[in-house]
Structures are given as structure tokens and as C-alpha cells.
Amino acid sequence: MTTERDRSAAIRLFGRYLRDLGLPVTQQREVVADVVFGAAGHLSVDDIADTLRGCGERIGKATIYRTLDLLVRSRLVAEHDFGEGFKRYEHRLSNHPIHEHLICLECGKVVEFESNELYRVENNVRREYGFVPVRRRLEIYGLCKECHEAGVELPLEGLTCPIETV
């Protein structure tokens, strides 16, 4: 969650970003940004549209998409694709601006975690492949603690013979 102070500070930062680019700071942009900065989790565009509708704000989806594009460019917001067929958006105001995601295949819950090992991985690829890392994405899909403890089993649909032995 975001504190009220972080939230308004973020909106001011977004305004600064827009002004630096010579773009107008419109009401719609501020309202969309406020929804994103004030939310805890990973919002879909529909989530944002629903929230706005709940507040009595009448903002078109095109404007939401266009504002999200600016928010992502400003790096105040991260865009995610968890394979659901649409994108999700998450502000980066937490104490852990760089984190990865655990996604439960049963209930869809997303847990965030940090991994220091990833820095080692990035150093390795830089050294071994000459590849210069800029950003990364690590998602681990599986069963969250609650689903696992509830005894959920995931059906394995693949070949009975593991392909590694082909």
C-alpha cells in the first residue's frame, strides 16, 4: 500500500515528468495516476476503469491506456504480463522497487519477492555472453502456501515419459 504522502508526492513527480516533456498536466492524467499510485496490487485496465467508475469519474479507456503509457515511460509504474491475455500495472513506490513475482496457478494470487541471486545471474551473463542487462523479469509459477496446504494438486498433462530422456 502507499501512504497518502507518497501518493501525492508521486502525482507531483508525474506532473514534473509531464512538464519536463512540455506536455499538459490534465485532470484525467492526475486522476488515473492517483488510482494507480493509491492501489496496492497489480491492476488491469479494467480494474482501473472500474475504480474510476466507482468514483463517478467518466474517463474513456483510450485515455487510461494513453496515461498508462506515460506512467510506464516515466518509470513510476511497471507493466506486467502474467500470461492472462492482458497487461497489469503496478506503481513503483514501495520500499522494494525491484522485485520479482510468485504467481499461484490455482488461485491467481501474486506474491512479490526479492532475489539477490539475480544480480549474480546478471553478472554471469555479462561476463559469459557479453550481454549488457537493462531490465529483467523473473516469474515463478506454482502453488502458493495456502493452496499447497489445502492439498491442491496440479494436473500434469504432459507425456508420461520425461522428454529429457528422448
Partner DNA sequence: GTCCATGCAAACCTTTTGCACTATA
Partner DNA sequence: TATAGTGCAAAAGGTTTGCATGGAC
- Binding status of residue 27 toward DNA by CB under 7 A: yes
Classify 62 as helix, strand or coil: helix
Other C-beta atoms lying within 10 Å of the C-beta of residue 14 = 24
With CB under 5 to 8 Å by kind, the binding choice for 110 among its own copies, DNA, none is none
Measured CA to CA, the distance from residue 95 to residue 78 in angstroms comes to 14
End-to-end CA, the chain: 48
Q: Which of 5, 54, 56, 62 binds DNA (CB under 7 A)?
A: 62
Q: Which stretch binds DNA (CB under 7 A): 39-47, 91-99, 141-149, 158-166?
A: 39-47
Binding its own copies (rule: CB under 8 A), the pick from 1, 40, 107, 125 is 125
Contact between 152 and 158 under an 8 Å Cβ cutoff? The reply is no
Site string (42-61) toward DNA, x via CB under 7 A: --xxx-----------xxxx
How far is it, in rounded angstroms, from Cα 113 to Cα 33? 25
What string marks each residue from 66 to 85 as x (binds DNA by CB under 7 A) or -? xx-x---------------x
Question: d(Cα 52, Cα 39) in Å, to the nearest integer?
Answer: 12
62 binding partner (options its own copies, DNA, none; Cβ < 5 to 8 Å by kind): DNA
Closest to its own copies by CB, 53 vs 73, is 73
Q: How many CB atoms lie within 10 A of CB 35?
A: 24
Tally the C-alpha atoms within 13 A of residue 115's C-alpha that lie toward its C-beta. 17
Copy the grid coordinates of residue 41.
496490487
Q: Out of 22, 56, 137, 151, name the contact with its own copies by CB under 8 A.
A: 137
Nearer to its own copies, 55 or 97 (CB): 97
Query: Whose Cβ is closer to DNA: residue 68's or residue 93's?
Result: 68
Q: Is 108 in the site for DNA (CB under 7 A)?
A: no
